[in-house]
């Protein structure tokens, strides 16, 4: 049996954490592996969700931005050595996670979740890994510029789709959101941070409502840019058309009632939210960043637009709002692509092979 420690900074409500949850849910009863979850800092929003896995969870409560943090790292190193782990699987700790595996003398696997510009310290750290998994083709191309190709594998992000609603629930959700039955719904989910480009989406929606008034934009998620977005929405007088929902637990319910899913990011890896939209058969408008183009194939599974272009976002959204046949075609083809390449079963089969190598 392989002993695997999964290391994350916190269990926040992000795509990487949700992917880890999907992986561990799949492997929960696999007798080939023993898993422990190790959280460097505070527990995070998804802590109680992870407890449902009934796997050991260790919260190390390291202080942020303090030299005392490195004493916690040393404790983790000693623990991994003492318990004789075979593998340390690191997520979202690009500056120091792989060093923990190196000093603990265990095989270290790091998953690269983003296509951002890695700084010199991240590059140095990731090079200490035995293996780096890129969550999409573009991410693999990025990290190949500073990590030997023999230490890199492609492992596409994946989800387990959940579809549960019926017509009664659909009407109830609309009522809770105060959305009329004759309104079309545009949805976007994610952290309210600069890289997600929600300010661009709000700007785009100003153009949308000039030509289509019976439409509402739902933004699900929270983050440091919430106040700024609230002010932007107020200043543009679009409170009637845009709703900031905060953290949402009913992701699949929102996906089922929406007509279009939008990703307006400035930077990305391979977003879990795009996979969720595909699994629900929804047409997508997305910016051409990171690995978005791998799942949103222009005019096939969605519409791709250049980043930082609210005018193009608006044009693509309006094109789908005004063409139900196109929405249905793109949504159906998106679902077929999801089934072919992005199921959790396919993902975990590949991951298990790497664990056992």
State pLDDT tens for residues 201-240: 999 999 999 999 899 999 999 999 999 999 999 999 999 9
CA 135 – CA 258 distance, rounded (Å): 26
User: Do 124 and 99 contact (CB within 8 A), yes or no?
Assistant: no
Residue 96 sits in a domain whose CATH number is 3.40.50.2000
Whole-structure pTM value: 0.87
Do 24 and 5 meet the contact criterion of CB atoms below 8 Å apart? Answer: no
* 221 in the same domain as 124: no
Verify that 102 and 177 share a domain, yes or no: no
For 15-69, the pLDDT digits (tens) are 899 999 999 999 999 999 999 999 999 999 899 999 999 999 999 999 988 888 9
Residue 233 and residue 126 share a domain? no
| Angstrom distance (rounded) from CA 278 to CA 163 | 12
What pLDDT was estimated at residue 248? 86
- Residue 239 shares a structural domain with residue 259: yes
At which residue do the structure tokens 């929902």 appear?
245
Same domain, 171 and 153: no
Mean pLDDT on 148-155: 96
Q: How far is CA 334 from the centre of its chain?
A: 17
- According to the model, what pLDDT value does residue 166 have? 53
Note whether 132 and 182 are same-domain residues: no
> Do 178 and 145 have their domain in common?
no
Same-domain pairing of 95 and 226: no
Q: Are residues 179 and 111 in the same domain?
A: no
Contact between 259 and 321 (Cβ < 8 Å): yes
**Is residue 106 domain-shared with residue 181, that is, in the same domain?**
no
pLDDT tier, 327 (very low <50, low <70, confident <90, very high otherwise): very high
Q: Write out the residue range of the structural domain in which residue 130 sits.
A: 2-158+343-356
How many domains, in total, are found in the chain?
2
What span, in angstroms and rounded, lies between the C-alpha atoms of 95 and 102?
13
SS3 content of the chain, % helix, strand, coil (to 5): 45, 20, 35
Lowest mean pLDDT among 162-171, 205-214, 298-307, 328-337: 162-171
pLDDT at 164: 55
Q: Same structural domain for residues 275 and 187?
A: yes
Claim to verify: residue 174 and residue 313 sit in the same structural domain: yes
With 90 as the cut, is the pLDDT of residue 168 above it?
no
E strands along the chain, which residues?
2-8, 33-39, 57-59, 87-91, 107-112, 131-134, 152-154, 184-189, 215-220, 242-246, 260-263, 284-287, 302-305
**Picking from 48-62, 121-135, 177-191, 307-321, which range would have the lowest pLDDT averaged per residue?**
177-191
């Amino acid at each position: 049996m392989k002993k695997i420690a999964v290391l994350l900074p916190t269990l926040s409500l992000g795509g990487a954490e949700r992917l880890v949850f999907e992986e561990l849910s799949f492997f929960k009863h696999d007798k080939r592996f023993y898993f422990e979850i190790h959280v460097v800092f505070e527990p995070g929003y998804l802590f109680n969700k992870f407890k449902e896995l009934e796997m050991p969870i260790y919260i190390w409560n390291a202080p942020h931005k303090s030299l005392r943090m490195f004493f916690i790292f040393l404790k983790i190193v000693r623990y991994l050595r003492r318990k004789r782990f075979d593998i340390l699987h690191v997520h979202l700790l690009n500056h120091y996670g792989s060093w923990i595996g190196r000093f603990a003398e265990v095989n270290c696997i790091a998953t690269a979740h983003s296509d951002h510009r890695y700084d010199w310290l991240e590059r140095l750290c990731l090079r200490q890994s035995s293996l780096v998994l890129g969550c999409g083709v573009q991410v693999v191309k990025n990290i190949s510029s500073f990590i030997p190709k023999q230490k890199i594998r492609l492992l596409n992000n994946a989800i387990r789709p959940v579809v549960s609603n019926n017509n009664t629930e659909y009407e109830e959700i609309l009522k809770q959101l105060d959305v009329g039955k004759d309104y079309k719904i545009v949805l976007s989910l994610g952290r309210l941070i600069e890289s997600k480009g929600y300010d661009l989406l709000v700007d785009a929606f100003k153009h949308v409502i000039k030509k289509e008034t019976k439409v509402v934009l739902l933004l699900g998620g929270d983050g440091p840019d919430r106040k700024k977005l609230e002010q932007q929405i107020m200043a543009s007088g679009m409170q009637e058309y845009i709703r900031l929902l905060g953290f949402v637990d009913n992701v699949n319910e929102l996906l089922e009632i929406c007509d279009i899913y939008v990703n307006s990011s400035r930077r990305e890896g391979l977003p879990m939210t795009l996979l969720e939209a595909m699994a629900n058969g929804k047409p997508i408008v997305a910016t051409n960043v990171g690995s978005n183009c791998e799942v949103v194939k222009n005019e096939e599974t969605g519409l791709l637009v250049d980043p930082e272009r609210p005018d193009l976002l608006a044009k693509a959204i309006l094109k789908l709002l005004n063409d139900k046949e196109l929405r249905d075609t793109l949504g159906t083809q998106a679902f077929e692509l999801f089934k072919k390449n992005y199921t959790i079963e396919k993902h975990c089969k590949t991951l298990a092979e790497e664990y056992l190598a």
